[in-house]
Amino acid sequence: MNTPARLGAYALGLVVIFGGALGAGNAVGASGPAPTADAHPIHATPTASQAGDHATHTDPAPAPATTGKPVPGGLQVSQDGYTLLPQTLTLQPGKTTDFRFSVIGPDGKPVTAYRTEHGKRLHLIVVSRDLGSFQHLHPELTGDGVWSVKLTLPEAGTYRAFADFAPEGGRGLTLGVDLQAPGAQEPEALPATSRTATVDGYTVTLDGDLTPGASSRLTLKVGKDGHPVADLQPYLGAYGHLVALRAGDLAYLHVHPDGEPGDGKTPPGPRITFYAEVPSRGDYRLFLDFQHEGTVRTADFTVRAGELPAPATTPSPAAATPSASASHGDHDH
Ligand SMILES: [Cu+2]
């Protein structure tokens, strides 16, 4: 019942699941007791291909289209010899907990030296597995390489925590681990695709399309009470911070802000521009953090990349039931 043993078993399960899903080449890179030795040949090619790129954490080396693509971020609890190790994987729902974790480095010791990326040494994103709940937190690095943050999992269910960081001397990584909030849960269906989001009286509209396998330009326009907001405040070195997660497996995608406050060409709204790279067709959840009048708010969207067959909401004429509207969330039973 000790945490490292449980985590080890968990990590193995994760590797098996995604190894199966993503193919043998990736599974080799992700698995095994000696991840450093196995992983490096897999990742060396895309990293080396980015000449001069110092691997900021938003830029983990997309591969040329002709080679095997690297596994998207966030799907693995361990990568390139670095392992995300929470002190607990279970938190009581609705209860604020001092959540502590470490990143274990290739030398087997907690990493204590990190590069600052987007104004912080580590970004912790926590979402519910149904992608209904989103939190963007900045833990404090305490002694001995232990990160600490006040975390509340709002409701019972399974959550995914992403640690987005760059160890000193290494490339940027996003490691992911599942957290459990025990109790009866009501998973929500993925929100319908939408180009408009509202939060606290703000309306954010999305322009641009996600193109599978390509860098896609996305522009988000912030308004309030029918007026454009042109005095956004810098947050994490930009006028907005965008996290994109793939529905189905919560792959954590690379998003680059276009321009930054003070560069002489990036206005403080109402439009914020990003470049996002999605690896495949499918549905994605976008979470935009923006700051205005001293408060950070999050606008969320569901966006479809590429074409998909119409979902089989009514399985077949023979199986059609009169209570189709009650099928909300039944995919999880
Ligand atoms: Cu952050």
Size (the chain), residues = 333
Q: How far is CA 96 from CA 93, 106, 152, in A?
A: 8, 32, 4
Q: Report pLDDT for 331.
A: 43
DSSP annotation string for 272-315:
EEEEEEBSSSEEEEEEEEEEETTEEEEEEEEEEES--PPP-SS-
Dist. CA 137 → ligand 1 center (Å): 6
> Position of tokens 């040949």?
41
pLDDT digits (tens, 9 = 90+) for 259-317: 889 888 899 989 999 999 899 999 999 999 999 999 999 999 999 999 888 766 665 55
Contacts of 196 (CB under 8 A, 6+ apart): 203, 204, 205, 206
Dist. CA 33 → ligand 1 center (Å): 31
Contacts of 2 (CB under 8 A, 6+ apart): none
Dist. CA 333 → ligand 1 center (Å): 34
Tokens of 155: 């409701």
Q: CA-to-CA distance for 136 and 126, rounded, in angstroms? A: 7
Q: Look at phi and psi of residue 48 and say left if phi exceeds 0, alpha if psi is from -120 to 50, else beta.
A: alpha
Q: CA-to-CA distance for 199 and 49, rounded, in angstroms? A: 41
212, amino acid identity: P
Judged against a pLDDT cut of 50, whether residue 131 lies above it is answered with yes
Dist. CA 141 → ligand 1 center (Å): 14
Which residues are close to ligand 1, an ion, with C-beta < 5 A?
123
User: Whole-model pTM above 0.85?
Assistant: no
Dist. CA 174 → ligand 1 center (Å): 12
Confidence of residue 330 (pLDDT cuts 50, 70, 90): very low
Of 44-48, 75-79, 235-239, the poorest mean pLDDT is in 44-48
